[in-house]
């Protein structure tokens, strides 16, 4: 079995923990690729050490490879993490033995087209958000589903989230929580001018197009990849052909995780 380790490159503590885990795994006969990078040999399992940002970045880079991810929280909230750092010693024998199940999570494919041609493309595990740029006035957005006009409205922005991302930015903006195993998208307006405008949940087999009409805006994917949008750009969002497989060692529901992480 080949295991790749992905520590947060900006925190020495994650490297220290990753090195300790590597020594134990190697002593059990596993081949370990320390500080795994995309383009290296494809492992059977990736162990990600860090917070949600590290996990999201790894998921976007590796979705097309189909490598299962085991996520270890060494950040703050760690919503996406399966284990806390202090739980590693307890679960390491099961990890080495492959005694776990995989939970598939839907991803989004995000494409920006300008004058008919693509200028940006990325995958998202959490969400794609289109937001007003700086302190500019509200942006006016045209929303289409399957290329059919749905609505136009003015707002500070709009979020399109996966079930995984429904507990992140979308939740803060008033969106619902989606069960993680579903194939759904939630479209959540950010501070709309019309307060009656509410989030919309739709099946993942639909395609969403968002067009900023009056102002420059910013598209951000999982809070990390960004691109500046000009009026008239098409932002196309659809279910990705790829998914992320998360290693699960515990039997816990999303509601239990919400309650614990948010201290509800």
Answer yes or no: are the C-beta atoms of 69 and 48 closer than 8 Å: yes
Q: How far is it, in rounded angstroms, from Cα 263 to Cα 57?
A: 26
Do 174 and 120 fall into the same domain? yes
Q: How many helices (H) and strands (E) does the chain have?
A: 5, 17
pLDDT confidence of residue 262: 66
Asked whether residue 170 falls in the same domain as residue 144, the answer is: yes
CB 71 within 8 A of CB 105: no
44 and 74 together in one domain? yes
Q: Write out the catalytic residue numbers.
A: 52
Per the structure block, which two tokens stand in for 149?
């006009």
Is the entire prediction scored with pTM above 0.85? Answer: yes
Judgement on whether residues 14 and 120 belong to the same structural domain of the protein: no
Q: Say how far apart CA 14 and CA 6 lie, in whole Å.
A: 9
Task: Assign residue 148 the CATH number of its domain.
Answer: 2.60.200.30
Domain that holds residue 13: 2-100+249-261
Please check whether residues 234 and 254 belong to one and the same domain: no
Over the chain (264 residues), what is each successive 10-residue block's mean pLDDT? Answer: 92 90 93 92 95 94 94 83 89 92 97 97 98 86 97 97 96 95 97 93 98 94 97 98 96 72 60
Looking at the structure of the chain, the number of domains it has is 2
Q: Among 108, 102, 75, 32, which residue's Cα sits nearest to residue 249?
A: 102
Task: Count CB neighbours of 25 within 10 A.
Answer: 20
| 163 DSSP 8-state letter | T
CB of 49 closer than 8 Å to CB of 7? yes
Structure tokens at 233: 């750009």
- Is 58 found in the same domain as 78? yes
235, 254: one domain: no
Q: Using CA atoms, how far apart are residues 25 and 60, in angstroms rounded to an integer? A: 26
Secondary-structure percent of the chain, ordered helix, strand, coil, rounded to 5: 20, 40, 35
């Amino acid at each position: 079995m080949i295991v790749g380790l992905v520590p947060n490159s900006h925190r020495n503590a994650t490297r220290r923990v990753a090195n300790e885990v590597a020594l134990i795994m190697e002593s059990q006969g596993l081949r370990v690729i320390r500080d795994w990078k995309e383009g290296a040999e494809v492992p059977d399992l990736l162990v990600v050490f860090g917070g949600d940002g590290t996990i999201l970045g790894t998921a976007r880079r590796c979705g097309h490879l189909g490598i299962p991810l085991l996520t270890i929280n060494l950040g703050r909230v760690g919503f996406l993490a399966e284990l806390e750092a202090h739980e590693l010693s307890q679960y390491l024998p099961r990890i080495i033995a492959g005694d776990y199940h995989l939970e598939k999570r839907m991803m989004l494919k995000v494409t920006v087209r300008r004058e008919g041609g693509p200028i940006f493309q990325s995958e998202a595990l959490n969400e794609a958000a289109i937001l007003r740029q700086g302190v500019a006035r509200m942006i006016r957005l045209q929303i289409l589903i399957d290329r059919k006009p749905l609505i136009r409205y003015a707002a500070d922005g709009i979020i399109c989230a996966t079930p995984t991302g429904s507990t992140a930015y979308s939740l803060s903006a008033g969106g619902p929580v989606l069960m993680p195993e579903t194939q759904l998208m939630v479209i959540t307006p950010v501070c709309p001018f019309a307060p009656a405008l509410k989030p919309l949940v739709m099946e993942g087999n639909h395609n969403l197009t968002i067009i900023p009409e009056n102002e420059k805006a910013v598209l951000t994917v999982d809070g990390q990849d960004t691109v500046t949008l000009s009026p008239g750009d098409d932002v196309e969002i659809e279910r990705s052909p790829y998914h992320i497989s998360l290693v699960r060692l515990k039997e816990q529901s999303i509601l239990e995780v919400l309650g614990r992480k948010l201290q509800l």
